[in-house]
Copies of this chain bind each other. A is one copy, B any other.
Amino acid sequence: MEKRAHNFFAGPAALPYEVLKKAQEELLDFKGMGVSVMEMSHRDKAFIAVAAEAEADLKKLLGLGDDYAVLFQGGGATHQFVMLPMNSLHAGDEADYIVSGNWAERAYEEGTIQGKANLVATSKTLAKPFSELPVVKQENMSPKAKYLHFCSNNTIYGTQFFENNYPKALPGVGLVCDMSSGFMSHTFDATKFDMIYAGAQKNIGPAGVTVIVLKKEWAQKVFTKKLPKSFDYNYQIKKESMFNTPPCFNIYITGLVFKWMLEMGGIPAMEKRNKIKADTIYGMIDKYPDFYRGYVTNKAHRSWMNVTFNLPTEALEEEFVKAAKAKNMLGLKGYRDLGGIRASIYNSTSPESVQFLADFMEEFKKSH
């Protein structure tokens, strides 16, 4: 077996061993065709089946029916920050945004460029910016908004919305969520959403493909701006993501991750696994709160995906990262603007890797 590291990268991030192994096995010969999945037309029935299976498996995982469309596109979630208001906001149209972190703020900024974006709530202004989720009040929302946008998990600072505190839109206002780094990490009712999008490279696949889930009826109603075909969501829905050549290999790997998730027991199994992993690391932070200083101030807002903390000094943090790397643990350095330590423990990161990190934290504490 290959040497495999304990992977705590924030994204692109760990993929399941089984997925990589399968991709490796059939890399030069996909299903006996004698070509790689990278080497065949996206119009060939073999690839059409790959994309259709990925879509069907995603819908099965989310419990969605024919009233929802799934798109697989390039460009990343950042691209969707622009596409969403571009498709929906005519001059003077409003949209509501909740700002719980850097990426949520970027989405909000693009909204302000394209139309009238309202800042419903932000936790940027806290003494420790984004150290907890913002307080969302419906009285700050606009009934005229085309949609309410929020970001489910804050990759950088380490807060996360769960189903019990997902923001609720006003009646008739679409609910839109950037789930890039929290997608399918816990059970939730996807039918409550009009649009969900997620860059694959955190929880569900490699970089280079973004999954967009759209309630068709809502998309027809709200996406009414005249746009170039490449930018038009409804045109993409009509063409089933095949208007132009899609990122084929990226879709294929994402589809393999969906199959892995289904085999593991679907989203409920991911939730169970992620809860155990989060408890393991936060348990260590709570055991030595003076040494491992969690960035997030409200424990109920702690992300299960990105665990952020500081050590007493920057020198100790550097030593921590270096010593961890020597023990084959990668990606623990915090985001460049924030510093400190960040352990990203998405769906694919194994409980064994997380336990290995927790044991290392115990040992590192004792020796310092």
- Residue of B3, B33, B243, B253 touching A5 (CB-CB under 8 A): B33
The 8 closest A-B pairs by CB, nearest first: A74-B74, A208-B247, A5-B34, A78-B244, A38-B206, A82-B228, A24-B27, A2-B28
Specify the main secondary structure of chain A where it touches its partner: loop
A201 interface residue (CB < 8 Å to B): yes
Further 17 A-B residue pairs, CB within 8 A, beyond A15-B36, A40-B330, A249-B250: A2-B29, A2-B34, A4-B35, A7-B35, A9-B41, A9-B44, A14-B39, A21-B28, A38-B206, A41-B331, A44-B331, A74-B208, A75-B75, A79-B244, A206-B249, A208-B208, A250-B250
Interface residues on A, range: 35 or more
13 contacts between A and B (CB under 8 A): A11-B245, A12-B41, A17-B28, A21-B28, A34-B328, A34-B330, A74-B79, A77-B244, A79-B244, A113-B228, A208-B208, A208-B246, A247-B250
Q: Per-residue CB proximity of A71-108 to B under 8 Å, as 1/0?
A: 00111111101100000000000000000000000000
A230 interface residue (CB < 8 Å to B): yes
User: Which chain B residues border A206 with CB–CB below 8 Å?
Assistant: 38, 248-249
User: Which chain B residues border A273 with CB–CB below 8 Å?
Assistant: none
A285 interface residue (CB < 8 Å to B): no
Q: Are B76 and A244 in contact (CB under 8 A)?
A: yes
If A15-B39, A27-B24 touch, whether A34 touches B249 (CB-CB below 8 Å) is no
A156 interface residue (CB < 8 Å to B): no
A77 to B243, CA, bound (A): 12
Interface centre among A76, A81, A209 (most CB of B within 10 A): A76
